[in-house]
Amino acid sequence: GAGVSQSPSNKVTEKGKDVELRCDPISGHTALYWYRQRLGQGLEFLIYFQGNSAPDKSGLPSDRFSAERTGESVSTLTIQRTQQEDSAVYLCASSSRLSSGYTFGSGTRLTVV
């Protein structure tokens, strides 16, 4: 596609429920990233995928968070047993190389009530 596509754009969920967020990167971009943007905070790195290499999961805040990516295609970020502090915009980005910068999607706005 022409850009990074994320779905859903908005998600309201009850505390304790599981949610799954989807990211479709730009075709040909080998690198894929997930970031979290909480209100009044800078973007926080969550996870990085590069081709078939082992992902860098060092930014995942707890074991309730997990992400998968098959090859160089779609990625899903799953949050289990959601908590109110998980409320944030979850941004996905892809890139072909660092010097070209990331291309971000519009994000999924998650609200946990």
Partner 1 sequence: QKEVEQDPGPLSVPEGAIVSLNCTYSNSAFQYFMWYRQYSRKGPELLMYTYSSGNKEDGRFTAQVDKSSKYISLFIRDSQPSDSATYLCAMSASGGSNYKLTFGKGTLLTVNP
Q: List residues binding partner 1 (CB under 8 A).
A: 4, 31, 33, 35, 40-45, 48, 50, 56, 59, 91, 93, 95, 98-107, 109
Q: Which is nearer to partner 1, 56 or 80 (CB)?
A: 56
To partner 1, the closest distance from the beta carbon of 106 in angstroms equals: 5
Residue type at 73 in one-letter notation: S
Minimum CB distance to partner 1 smaller for 84 or for 100: 100
**How far from 7 is each of 24, 48, 64, 89, CA to CA, in Å?**
9, 19, 20, 12
Can you read off the two tokens belonging to residue 85?
């502090």
User: If you search the block for the tokens 């944030």, which residue do you land on?
Assistant: 88
Residue with Cβ nearer partner 1 (20 or 44): 44
Rounded to a whole number of angstroms, the minimum distance from the CB of residue 98 to partner 1 is 6
β-strand partners of 34: 47, 92
Closest approach of partner 1 to the CB of residue 82, in Å: 21
* Burial class of residue 106 (count of CB atoms within 10 Å of its CB; 0-12, 13-18, 19+): middle
